[in-house]
Amino acid sequence: MPIYAYRCTNCGFEKDFLQKMSDKPLTKCPQCGKDALVKELSAPGFELRGTGWAATDFNGGHKALPASHRKPDSSK
């Protein structure tokens, strides 16, 4: 089940809630009791594990050079 971040537009209360994707969004703030709770946009967190492409091709060891450090293209 995903974790959703909510914030109250009335009192500023913030909390993460574990909900099913099929559940309706929460609206009532547990702190002030107003119907002012809104779902916030947040980035998902994940971790690449194992011996597959995550370890061999996505290890972050090779970084692209800035354009100012690249050799000019002589094929033109």
Angle at 9 between CA 21 and CA 41, to 5 degrees: 40
Calculate the alpha carbon distances from 5 to 16, 20, 26, 37, 67 in Å.
Answer: 4, 13, 10, 10, 39
Per run of 10 residues, the mean pLDDT along the chain (length 76 residues) is 93 96 95 96 76 64 63 61
pLDDT of residue 34: 97
pLDDT of residue 62: 58
- Beta carbons of 11 and 34 less than 8 angstroms apart: yes
pLDDT of residue 39: 94
pLDDT of residue 18: 94
